[in-house]
Amino acid sequence: MEWGAGFVFIQYSTFDIQYSICMYIRVRVVAGAKKESFEASAEDSFLVSVKEPAEQNRANKRVLELTASHFGIEPKQIRIISGHHSSGKILSVPDIG
């Protein structure tokens, strides 16, 4: 910043803004299943069975792990958009295309 005769000169910096493009997928979860599975029921819909019970967020964590494994990404990159307390969920997954 420079001071002049009655005015102020401000120098602006540019910032790099990164945009992440995500896709939304629908997931129907069966918690407490005997066998774990991750099956596509449509292009953007999946049926997921997990062994963990729907208690203390354990089933949700396992759903994120299985979804991340299917898409080849880290579980922390996936977000539950809606359905935290229900079997029908919408997940946000980074678009890797």
Domain-embedded: residue 57: yes
77 part of a folded domain: yes
Query: What span, in angstroms and rounded, lies between the C-alpha atoms of 72 and 56?
Result: 26
CATH number at residue 29: 3.30.1200.10
User: Is 18 domain-assigned?
Assistant: no
Q: Which two tokens stand for residue 68?
A: 């991340």
Domain coverage including residue 49:
23-94
pLDDT in tens, 44-60: 899 999 999 999 999 99
Task: Give domain status of residue 34, yes or no.
Answer: yes
Confidence band for 2, pLDDT divided at 50, 70 and 90:
very low
pLDDT tens digits along 58-72: 999 999 999 999 999
Residue 12 in any domain: the answer is: no
Whether residue 46 is contained in a domain is answered as yes
In a domain, 43, yes or no: yes
Give pTM, 2 decimals.
Answer: 0.78
CB 47 within 8 A of CB 62: no
Residue 52 lies in a domain: yes
In the chain, the number of structural domains is 1
At 77 the three-state DSSP class reads: helix
